[in-house]
Amino acid sequence: MTEIAGGCACGKVRFRITEPFMGVAVCHCLDCQKNSGGPNYMALVPKAGFEVTSGEPRTYTSQADSGAEISRTFCADCGTPLWSAPAGVPFLPVKVGALDDATDLQPTLHLYTDSAPAWHLMHDGVPRVPKMPPARAPRP
């Protein structure tokens, strides 16, 4: 995989991704709907492969459906949503719209479909889960 860059609309916050995506999820939870006006398309990036290269984004932290904290990061100047940081996972959901080039990405999972209104697009053949899938136990 070659390096992928991204950032906000005004260009003050920039980041780069240096590891392959773990998948591309479409989240239909109510928080994502409030954040974007519809479902959020997110590239799941290993934390070790993500780096902010310029700017100082702001973060809003709230309680997720799981009861754990989730932080949502955005540009303080233009308001562009950039990535989230759910507690206890090894990845960051990076907003696909914040990537410089997302033309080759395809969704691999729909999350929180129980919260999706009837007009949300559901891609044929893409697995759907009603909430968040349970965390997998570590392999021995």
Give domain status of residue 133, yes or no.
no
Task: Report the CATH number that the domain containing residue 104 is assigned in CATH.
Answer: 2.170.150.70
Please report which confidence band the pLDDT of residue 134 belongs to, taking 50, 70 and 90 as the band edges. Answer: low
Show the domain range for 17: 4-115
Query: Would you call 137 helix, strand, or coil by DSSP?
Result: coil
- Rounded CA-CA distance 80/10 in Å is 8
pLDDT digits (tens, 9 = 90+) for 71-91: 999 999 999 999 999 888 899
- Rounded CA-CA distance 58/78 in Å is 11
Give domain status of residue 131, yes or no.
no
- Token pair for 21: 């995506």
pLDDT digits (tens, 9 = 90+) for 24-63: 999 998 888 888 888 989 999 999 999 999 999 999 999 8
Give domain status of residue 120, yes or no.
no
Give domain status of residue 136, yes or no.
no
Nearest to 83 by CA among 38, 41, 135: 41
- Rounded CA-CA distance 51/96 in Å is 16
